[in-house]
Structure 1
Amino acid sequence: MTSIILLSIFGIVQLFLGFLRSNKVLLPGVMLVLLAVFGANLADWNQAPQSFFNQMLTVDHYTVAFTGIVVLTALLLLPFSRSYVVAHEPNLAEYYALLLFSLVGAIMMIGYDHLLMLFVGIEILSISMYVLAGASKRDSRSNEAALKYFLMGAFATGILLFGIALLYGATGTFALSQIAAAVAAPANASLLPMLYIGILLMIIGIGFKVSAAPFHFWTPDVYEGTPTFFTAFMSTVVKTAGFAAFLKLLAVALPAAQGFWAPTIQAMCALTLLLGNVGAAVQTTTKRMLAYSSVSHAGYLLIGLVAGNGSLTGPAANGIFFYSLAYSIATVAAFGVLKLVADHRQRDDYAGLNGLGKTNPLLAFVMTVAMLSLAGIPLTGGFFGKLFLLTAAVGQGHIGLVVFAVIMSMVGIYYYLRPIIAMYLRPAEGPTADAVPVDGLQSFTLGLLALLTIALGILPGLLSGIL
């Protein structure tokens, strides 16, 4: 709760700082805020679980763990917004404020115990993202991305809200614990069709938010048109909060209906893995490849939902936590390098990375570590993230799904090697032969991201059983 209060207050303060007409104070200011929020969130770890807003929001180990991921991700991403400071972006205060407000929505999605709190959190997060997707007002691609995201998001929100209404009609409550009791012992068998339709509609609505197939169709275009900095935020914070909410819905409110929703999640998982990996393999630009890559990683996280045992602890929940952390760190590193290169070389295709191993060894090394982690190569966090999820699925007997996921991982190795090949084996020509400028803060952050990725791959036990 302290995190929500701090983010809300400083989000408003950030708006007033915009009146100073000096962007130099905004970046260090918002970084200090996120450091304070991260510390306040960690302080809640040793506290007993607390409920707020008439038991609509709970702060426990689960909430603290996933909140830590989204706040840390935002903090590590901020140094790559420095180009907006240097260019004197007139709306920078508003952008930072929206990022802080979106984190409020993300935390609500993580800690909700009431479906109305889930809906409020999703809306706070989504509306912020709709605005940020169109942040580059003079770029037609950014305008198109914002419009597509808003329209598709509005439809998905309507579907989600309809599902919540049907679930309430079938159970008579919005509280997760009471929904679980009503589903386990239905008072009226004639209401079961309403219940199942409500569950299906909620899966569709949340599936859109996390880019799960077949509700992923907006992702490549929106990710490509959105400014790279906000794309990175969207592909990490939104996905982490979405899966934390998804897991809580299925494990806390609907464990008794697992026989109904489990086949649906399995089908979504297989389709997401297929379309995400095959789509990424045929892309010609790094940014669009990362967009489809984000879809494929939603597929791997869906494996954790399939392997869940009706609990927010255990192998599946810990696998989702570890995978979300490893994925977020590697994705921030990849998008951070891509933004620096694209800002200087004015291109985001594979050719834009040519020769980076010679001109900028640090950028090439960090990008390599990020690609290897996303591919699930040993000695990186991504390897153990996939291992934990697949092990949990094997423990629940989902052997066929695990085999299919391993095959799709092999496809992923192909397209994750393409940026590495471009950086080290292809020469830079013309304007791309110049070194990409990187300041001290960005260099430190990139080094830290690579170090964290490798540390998670060498010492996974430090965080693997945190839930």
Structure 2
Amino acid sequence: MTAIIALSLFGISNLFLGFWLSRKMIQQITMLFLAIGIGITLTDWNHEFLWFGNMFRTNNTSINFSIIIQLAAFFVVAFSNAFGQDDEHTHPAEYYAIMLFSTVGAIIMVSFDHLMMLFVGLEILSVAMYVLTGSDKRNLRSNEAAIKYFLMGSFATGILLFGMTLVYGATRTFYISNLTNVIASTAPESMPSFLYAGVLLMLVGMLFKVSAAPFHFWTPDVYDGAPTIFTMFMSTVVKTAGFAAIYHIFAGVFSGLYSTWVMPLYFISMLTLVIGNVTAVYQQSIKRMLAYSSISHAGYMLLTVAARQASSTSSILFYSLAYTLATLTAFAVFKLVSEYQTGRTEKPANFQSFEGLAKQNPFLAFCFTVSLLSLAGIPLTAGFWGKFFVFTDTFNRNIVYPIILAILMSAVGIYYYFKGIIAVYFKQGDIQKIEISTLYQVALGLTTLGTLVLGLFPNLVKSLF
């Protein structure tokens, strides 16, 4: 709760500091604010607190998710390059303030102990992302992406709220602990039928937020149309918060109704894996490929939610961290190369634009390769262990077909991820040396190093979860 208050005040402060400080200073101060937020969050370690009328709970699990979210936001700000030098059309103080407010919403989503707090956190996060998605007002694709995201997000929120209403009507409470007790103490035949409908409607509303099929249609267009730095934020912070909330609700609160939602969730996870991976194969744009990749990773994470094992919490945390680091690295390199290629080629986001990157930019090529290898689940990277832990949880539940499909889809993923690696190392191109700021280099090196360290020593981090 202290971190939420601090980041909210920091966001308001940013709006005023923007009148007096330079772009670079605002960027550095925002990073400092997020570092302070991480430090404040860590002070609650091994302490469980209830805040705000017992509607908000802080424990080690919520702290871990909060740290991943703030760490992702920290690196996104580091990769923002203070939004360039376009004084007329970019407003860094406002963007950074909105990102801090969005981070606050994400932290609420991982720490709620009341369904209304979930809704508040979700709306703070979502409204901020609608604004950031359409922030490039001169770009029609950005405007289109914002409209699509807003309209479909509004429908999903309505479905979620309707589901909450039905759950409240059946249980007479919004408090998580009370919901758990009511469901555990009521015989299945005595439960109102609309409780089951409410649970499934809440599932649909939350699955939209994490881009699970068939609620994924907004994802490729929004990821492609939004400015890359905000796509990076959306694909890491929003997805981590969404999965933390889904796991908290369904594997925790609605565990007594496991038979109601487990089969739909397994079906949706398999559909998500197929659609995400198969469609990614046909993409020529790296940004759209990463969008469908994001969809496919939602399918893997849903498997461990459905498995509901004792180790599922640590598996989701590890997967979230591994996916976040790899995605940050991939988008950071993509941002540099696409900005370099703008004006030099008609399609700077395509695989062809990355051809020959390794010749003059070995550091960028190495970082990009490590990130794609991790997303593909290749050994010695964090992504391998993330998938291994998820597959282990599913296998221990004795679910055969989803795990077989997941392994097959992982093989499909290797194909389209390696298209990027082949373009970088084995194709001829004319990319010259790309200038990178010191801060950008350090941030890129840290995310790449994190991916490798987690791949070599996974238990060092998983033991903390």
TM-score, structure 2 length as denominator?
Answer: 0.97
Cα distance 1:83–1:18, how it changes in 2: closer, same or farther (>3 A)? closer
Residue 316 of structure 1 is matched in structure 2 by 312
Residue 272 of structure 1 is matched in structure 2 by 272
Residue 79 of structure 2 is matched in structure 1 by 80
Give the Å deviation of 1:83. 5.4
Please tell me whether residue 227 in structure 1 is matched to residue 227 in structure 2.
yes
Paired letter, 2:444: L
Paired letter, 1:65: N
Q: Deviations over 1:347-400 (max 9, x none)?
A: 111011111001211100000000000000000000000001110111111122
Please tell me whether residue 303 in structure 1 is matched to residue 306 in structure 2.
no
Paired letter, 1:321: L
Give the Å deviation of 1:345. 0.7
Residue 458 of structure 1 is matched in structure 2 by 456
Give the Å deviation of 1:91. 1.5
Paired letter, 1:360: N
Q: Deviations over 1:297-346 (max 9, x none)?
A: 0000001111114xxxx311111000000000000000000001111112
Give the Å deviation of 1:90. 3.8
Residue 443 of structure 1 is matched in structure 2 by 441
1:344 pairs, out of 340, 343, 352, with: 340
Q: Distance in 1 between matches of 2:284 and 2:156?
A: 29
User: Conserved in 1, the CA contact under 8 Å of 2:23 and 2:82?
Assistant: no
**SS of the counterpart of 1:51?**
strand
User: Conserved in 1, the CA contact under 8 Å of 2:82 and 2:92?
Assistant: no
Q: Deviations over 1:210-239 (max 9, x none)?
A: 001110010000000000000010001000
Please tell me whether residue 415 in structure 1 is matched to residue 416 in structure 2.
yes
Q: Distance in 2 between matches of 1:53 and 1:427?
A: 59
Cα distance 1:301–1:22, how it changes in 2: closer, same or farther (>3 A)? same
Residue 11 of structure 2 is matched in structure 1 by 11
**SS of the counterpart of 2:19?**
helix
> How is 1:233-252 mapped onto 2 (pairs within 5 angstroms)?
233-252=233-252
Gaps of 5+ in 2: 343-347
Q: Distance in 2 between matches of 1:404 and 1:225?
A: 31
Q: Distance in 2 between matches of 1:24 and 1:404?
A: 47
> How is 1:306-385 mapped onto 2 (pairs within 5 angstroms)?
306-309=306-309, 314-346=310-342, 347-385=348-386
Identify which range, 451-460 or 184-193, moves more after superposition: 184-193
Paired letter, 2:438: G
**SS of the counterpart of 1:58?**
strand
Paired letter, 1:77: V
Cα distance 1:26–1:85, how it changes in 2: closer, same or farther (>3 A)? farther
**SS of the counterpart of 1:415?**
helix
Residue 393 of structure 1 is matched in structure 2 by 394
Q: Distance in 2 between matches of 1:80 and 1:257?
A: 43
Give the Å deviation of 1:22. 2.6
Paired letter, 2:374: S
Q: Distance in 2 between matches of 1:158 and 1:402?
A: 33
Give the Å deviation of 1:191. 4.9
Q: Distance in 2 between matches of 1:392 and 1:267?
A: 17
User: Conserved in 1, the CA contact under 8 Å of 2:110 and 2:241?
Assistant: yes
Paired letter, 1:76: F
Residue 106 of structure 1 is matched in structure 2 by 106
Q: Distance in 2 between matches of 1:233 and 1:413?
A: 24
> How is 1:170-185 mapped onto 2 (pairs within 5 angstroms)?
170-185=170-185
Residue 294 of structure 1 is matched in structure 2 by 294
Paired letter, 1:338: F
Give the Å deviation of 1:17. 1.2
Residue 64 of structure 1 is matched in structure 2 by 63
Residue 424 of structure 1 is matched in structure 2 by 425
Give the Å deviation of 1:184. 2.2
Cα distance 1:90–1:232, how it changes in 2: closer, same or farther (>3 A)? closer
Q: Distance in 2 between matches of 1:185 and 1:37?
A: 39
Give the Å deviation of 1:5. 1.0
User: Conserved in 2, the CA contact under 8 Å of 1:106 and 1:125?
Assistant: yes
Give the Å deviation of 1:190. 6.3
**SS of the counterpart of 1:254?**
helix
Paired letter, 1:203: L
TM-score, structure 1 length as denominator?
Answer: 0.96
Q: Deviations over 1:87-143 (max 9, x none)?
A: 335421111001000011001100001100000000000000000000111000000
**SS of the counterpart of 1:20?**
coil
Identify which range, 397-406 or 198-207, moves more after superposition: 397-406
Give the Å deviation of 1:252. 2.2
Sequence identity of aligned pairs in percent?
Answer: 49
Q: Deviations over 1:245-286 (max 9, x none)?
A: 000001221111001100011011000000000111110100
**SS of the counterpart of 1:427?**
coil
**SS of the counterpart of 2:79?**
helix
Please tell me whether residue 158 in structure 1 is matched to residue 150 in structure 2.
no
Over the aligned positions, Cα root-mean-square deviation in angstroms equals 1.3
Gaps of 5+ in 1: none
Q: Distance in 1 between matches of 2:233 and 2:111?
A: 20
Cα distance 1:264–1:30, how it changes in 2: closer, same or farther (>3 A)? same
Q: Deviations over 1:1-60 (max 9, x none)?
A: 1210110000000011122263122100100001111111112113x2000011110010
Paired letter, 1:437: E
Q: Distance in 2 between matches of 1:190 and 1:155?
A: 31
